[in-house]
């Protein structure tokens, strides 16, 4: 069966950049992205308060049937599947599909700055837009990221320092895949 690896982390943590770099390094690799499915917009998506209070329950509240199907379909067409996905092995629907799980652990201030640069770089971004995001980050996103960082990082095979150079992070993943004889 085609191996599946997941790369998880918080928003702005560098997981999507790392997924792309690993894909570029592995011929025949395919990518499935959690964000392509708009799961957070669905009715079953947990409220922020639920996620902070009971993250395991919250991360399993999502119906990820579509994501599981996309992973299985990608396995038919690729030599390895990389899943850009926030939950590591926490979600019981996806965990059985993952052969190797990584968590990119990035300091929250760095992730905040990266997300700010990524999401608010447009010329029409106003000071009010940036201040609104900063307020939302402090009151809503940061508490979620703290919980996410603590919980998900405990449900992976390896935690990767998000501050390391990209090439080093790619090498860490490729070395782990080789050690597990997945490539």
pLDDT digits (tens, 9 = 90+) for 1-21: 899 999 999 888 899 999 999
Rounded average pLDDT over 120-148: 84
Amino acid 33: pLDDT: 95
Q: Which residues contact 22 (CB under 8 A, 6 or more apart)?
A: 5, 7, 29, 82, 170, 173, 174
Give how far Cα 26 sits from Cα of 75, 83, 136, Å. 14, 14, 37
Amino acid 164: pLDDT: 96
The structural domains of the chain, ordered by start, are 4-179 (3.40.50.300)
User: How many residues appear in the chain?
Assistant: 183
For the chain, how big is the Rg over CA atoms in Å?
16
Residue 5's nearest CA partner among 38, 35, 31 is 31
**50 touches 58 (CB < 8 A):** yes
Rounded average pLDDT over 123-152: 86
Q: What percent of the chain has pLDDT over 90?
A: 57
Q: What percent of the chain has pLDDT over 70?
A: 100
pLDDT tens, position by position, 22-61: 999 999 999 999 989 887 777 777 877 777 788 898 888 8
Amino acid 45: pLDDT: 79
Helix (H) or strand (E) segment spanning residue 101: strand 100-105
* Averaged pLDDT of the chain: 90
First CA to last CA across the chain, in angstroms? 12
Amino acid 48: pLDDT: 75
Rounded average pLDDT over 150-174: 96
- The answer on pLDDT for 88 being more than 90 is yes
CB-facing half-sphere around the CA of 67: CA atoms within 13 A: 28
Q: Whole-prediction pTM value?
A: 0.89
Question: Phi and psi at residue 31, in whole multiples of 5°?
Answer: -125, 135
Rounded average pLDDT over 127-151: 86
């Amino acid at each position: 069966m085609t191996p599946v690896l997941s790369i998880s982390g918080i928003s702005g943590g560098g997981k999507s950049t790392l997924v792309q770099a690993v894909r570029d390094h592995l011929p025949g690799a395919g990518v499935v992205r959690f964000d392509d499915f708009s799961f957070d917009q669905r009715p079953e998506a947990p409220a922020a308060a639920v996620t902070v209070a009971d993250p395991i329950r919250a991360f399993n509240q999502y119906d990820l049937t579509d994501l599981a199907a996309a992973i299985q379909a990608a396995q038919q067409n690729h030599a390895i599947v990389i899943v850009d996905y926030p939950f590591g092995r926490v979600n019981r629907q996806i965990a059985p599909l993952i052969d190797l799980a990584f968590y990119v652990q990035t300091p929250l201030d760095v992730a905040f700055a990266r997300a700010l640069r990524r999401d608010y770089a447009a010329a029409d971004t106003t000071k009010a837009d940036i201040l609104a995001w900063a307020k939302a980050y402090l009151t809503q996103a940061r508490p979620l990221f703290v919980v996410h960082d603590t919980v998900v990082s405990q449900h992976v095979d390896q935690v990767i320092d998000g501050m390391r150079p990209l090439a080093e992070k790619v090498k860490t993943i490729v070395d782990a895949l080789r050690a597990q004889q997945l490539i």
